[in-house]
Chain A
């Protein structure tokens, strides 16, 4: 197994490994060490079934259910288990979603820079995204290195952000785009949670900015002041020197560490071209943050 760096501060491409078959514990440990170093790993030419993707993902912890899966009724889902995130533009019958389809509106939130499941009390660890069908052009996924972004802050800002606690909810990111239709009985799912703005990676000890479009305010701050500041920090953290664009090929698998990165999807012709990606996520194991109370 080899890892080739694709960016000066993060992202490596793994070669000479077949992840569709069971891994030895040494191999899994090597990948995990690579994740600690690179935060994003790219695997090319890995045709996977959903079951193989789940098996591979379990090398790194317990699978997490997707929020939209939990909020959906059974008939609204295209894929089976709620651990398989449906990152596609297809409806349950496998046809392209209509322009005003509610799931399409919800999924547009993925075009905002975010860290997966930061709206949960314990945010996600890794996410793993497998490309089954990719569009002719557009639809890149971009990643931002939140360790390098933290390191590049001036000392005054580091001091200012050190002890801040932010409030995250899926309702904040979707609210930015004017979406608020979550369906009945889902009020609990959108209740805000608290996280530290600066977090420390449990293995490497490196600090990073824990930013996400799901942030709605900073605890103790007036909301508009908090949002303006979070926007400034996000703009800082997503400058070209901290980001990498992944251009998808069929059978790519990309895995990233949500504790140290943000990501977003870019626009594509989603009313014409199929884009079928499937995501698994690993539950976080430690509180991303102590709540303010």
Chain B
């Protein structure tokens, strides 16, 4: 059997068949999938019954894994999964849905805002791989936005205006948007803002994209309210239906996306139901802009 990728959304989302990705890949297979990622930015695989170890092994084909530390407010002792696995479920360590007022739940609601994973890290993520172990029967879709197409569709005046802009990203900003400010001093230090270029160029394809994320709190050199109003306008542009795809989950889907050229968000669902999604993240290898000295 050979790998086939069928186009789900033009030039953006591909559906992969003809390969069992729970088993070790040849170098040629990994290269073919990576080329598919460069072409599409989001790839979908159905019926992949992953264990955590298998998901990690598949992810390592595309680079070293990013550690989850620094990206959430769950204490090490309260973790349900090992530190290589981002727990994108609505469950506590006891495998039961978190209570309505649980601060981990309230923090995770930030995933309903359009974002790019780890844009709050100085070296942000390359790929994310999300495995649907237990899915809800309605709602809870994950939506993706093509930030290359969104960039291409900007008028030339706006392209020139944003070309060299640098934004500040932090979990403090995305969570602040939802009024989540219940953070310890240690968490605030952990979520110290980093800088990212607003326009980035993909290292393999050379295509430009808008590097937007709800983690953005301001543009360097701009008054904050003006920066935020402008970022909202750009985000509204970038998430128009013509640039987006909505993924309805089936159990054992694996969806992988390139954080360098997409945004995503989860939609609301009935949180009394169990939704057990597990993410591995392939680390990026470079900053998008010089950081300030600590």
Counting contact residues on chain A (CB < 8 A from B), the size range is 20 to 34
Query: Are B101 and A222 in contact (CB-based, < 8 A)?
Result: yes
| Interface check A105, CB cutoff 8 A | yes
Interface string of B236-276 (1 = CB under 8 A from A): 00000000000000000000000000000001100000000
Cα separation A232 to B179 with both chains bound (whole Å): 16
Query: Are B179 and A216 in contact (CB-based, < 8 A)?
Result: yes
Query: Are B179 and A223 in contact (CB-based, < 8 A)?
Result: yes
Nearest CB in chain B to that of A109: its residue:
B225
| Interface check A94, CB cutoff 8 A | no
Query: Are B180 and A228 in contact (CB-based, < 8 A)?
Result: no
Of A171-179, A249-257, A277-285, the one touching chain B = A171-179
Query: Are A178 and B109 in contact (CB-based, < 8 A)?
Result: no
**A161 CB to nearest chain B CB (Å):** 13
Interface string of A79-119 (1 = CB under 8 A from B): 00000000000000000000110001100110110000000
Q: Which of B113, B217, B224, B229 has the most CB of A within 10 A?
A: B229
Chain B residues lying within 8 Å of A174, measured Cβ to Cβ, are: 225
Query: Are B109 and A177 in contact (CB-based, < 8 A)?
Result: no
Cα separation A233 to B180 with both chains bound (whole Å): 20
Q: Which of B97-123 contact A (CB under 8 A)?
A: 100-101, 106-107, 109-110, 112-113
Nearest CB in chain A to that of B110: its residue:
A224
For chain B, what secondary structure do more than half of its interface residues adopt (helix, strand, loop), or is it mixed? helix
Total CB contacts across the A-B interface at under 8 A: 70
| Interface check A227, CB cutoff 8 A | yes
Given known pairs A178-B218, A232-B268, A267-B233, the reply for A224 and B179 (CB within 8 Å) is yes
Query: Are A99 and B226 in contact (CB-based, < 8 A)?
Result: yes
Query: Are A223 and B229 in contact (CB-based, < 8 A)?
Result: no
The answer, among A111, A228, A229, A231, for a CB contact under 8 Å with B229, is A111
Cα separation A222 to B106 with both chains bound (whole Å): 8
**B97 CB to nearest chain A CB (Å):** 14
**B183 CB to nearest chain A CB (Å):** 13
Given known pairs A176-B177, A217-B179, A232-B268, the reply for A225 and B100 (CB within 8 Å) is yes
Query: Are B106 and A108 in contact (CB-based, < 8 A)?
Result: no
Query: Are B109 and A99 in contact (CB-based, < 8 A)?
Result: no
Chain B residues lying within 8 Å of A105, measured Cβ to Cβ, are: 223, 225-226
The answer, among B113, B180, B228, for a CB contact under 8 Å with A223, is B180
The answer, among B101, B110, B179, B226, for a CB contact under 8 Å with A108, is B226
Chain B residues lying within 8 Å of A109, measured Cβ to Cβ, are: 225
Query: Are A223 and B217 in contact (CB-based, < 8 A)?
Result: no
| Interface check B25, CB cutoff 8 A | no
Q: Which of B113, B228, B267 has the most CB of A within 10 A?
A: B228
Query: Are A228 and B223 in contact (CB-based, < 8 A)?
Result: no
The answer, among A178, A216, A227, for a CB contact under 8 Å with B225, is A178
Chain A residues lying within 8 Å of B101, measured Cβ to Cβ, are: 222
Chain B residues lying within 8 Å of A100, measured Cβ to Cβ, are: 223
Query: Are A227 and B179 in contact (CB-based, < 8 A)?
Result: yes
With A224-B109, A225-B109 known, 16 other A-B pairs at CB within 8 A are A104-B223, A108-B229, A109-B225, A111-B232, A111-B233, A174-B225, A178-B224, A178-B225, A178-B228, A223-B106, A223-B178, A223-B179, A224-B107, A224-B110, A224-B180, A267-B229
